Amino acid sequence: MPTTMDPNVRIRAARWADKDTVAALIADALHDSPLAAWLTPEPGSRRQVLTGVAAIWVEHALFFGDIHLTDDLAAATVGFHRYRPIPPPANHHRRLAEAAGAHADRFTILDELLAQRQPTEPHYHLAILAVRPDARRAGRATALLAHHRSRLDRVDLPSWTTALPVGERLLARHGYSARAAVTLPDGPTLHPMRRNTRSAMPVDPARPAGSRWQDLLA
């Protein structure tokens, strides 16, 4: 059943049939961001590349995490249950090369930099918060984060994400605190953030937790 967080915003869990819609939504939300421009400098192919790479992680989240959507399909969260290490997506390197083409190396660079910041203790990984550009500033992101927060609070589970500067203030209002920033080579700065920890969330660079390109907050 949908969860009501606001009279105008209803939230439900995504189904397999929603995966293409969610991937396209993520691409729309990220398309004009500095991160998307860095990942795919060519505007003509950017939407196709972002949609293809997002599809890999949307499918993976349906197996190893969860996706929640507003019922108007205008906003979504994508997350992973990292209670223990999870495998990478099936055939990840091949699928990334097919989806990103000449830009695959940039997704890999992002992955490697963010992997160094991934907590090693059990946590929820809020990988993506995406809102379609024409649906912003209407409470959808706030409703999704409130829904996300209520679920984590019931199990007292830490959460980790990576934000673009535009999303950092919103996350802070929902209990996230910024960690040391990550600046991509000749690219934008990203802000790893954590929430709801009773103790430190250790980072062990010798134990990378898997691909992180999906830490895109829009």
Contact criterion met (CB below 8 Å) for 158 and 124: yes
Q: Tell me the whole-structure pTM to 2 decimals.
A: 0.86
Identity (one letter) of the amino acid at 145?
Answer: L
In whole numbers, what is the pLDDT of the chain averaged over residues? 87
Task: Copy the structure tokens of residue 62.
Answer: 């349906």
Average pLDDT over residues 97-107: 97
Give the integer Cα–Cα distance in Å for 118 and 54.
20
Q: 3 forms bridges with which residues in the sheet?
A: 11
Helix (H, G, I), strand (E, B) or coil at 64: helix
164: nearest Cα among 140, 194, 138, 188: 188
State the pLDDT at residue 154.
81
State the pLDDT at residue 206.
46
State the pLDDT at residue 150.
87
Contact criterion met (CB below 8 Å) for 126 and 77: yes
Average pLDDT over residues 134-138: 90
Confidence tier at 209 by pLDDT (50, 70, 90): very low
* pLDDT reading at 201 higher than 50: no
* pLDDT reading at 130 higher than 90: yes
pLDDT in tens, 83-95: 888 899 999 999 9
Name 105's Cβ contacts closer than 8 Å, sequence gap at least 6.
Answer: none
Name 74's Cβ contacts closer than 8 Å, sequence gap at least 6.
Answer: 25, 131, 132, 134, 135, 140
* pLDDT reading at 133 higher than 90: yes
* pLDDT reading at 77 higher than 80: yes
Give the integer Cα–Cα distance in Å for 188 and 93.
24
Average pLDDT over residues 171-193: 93
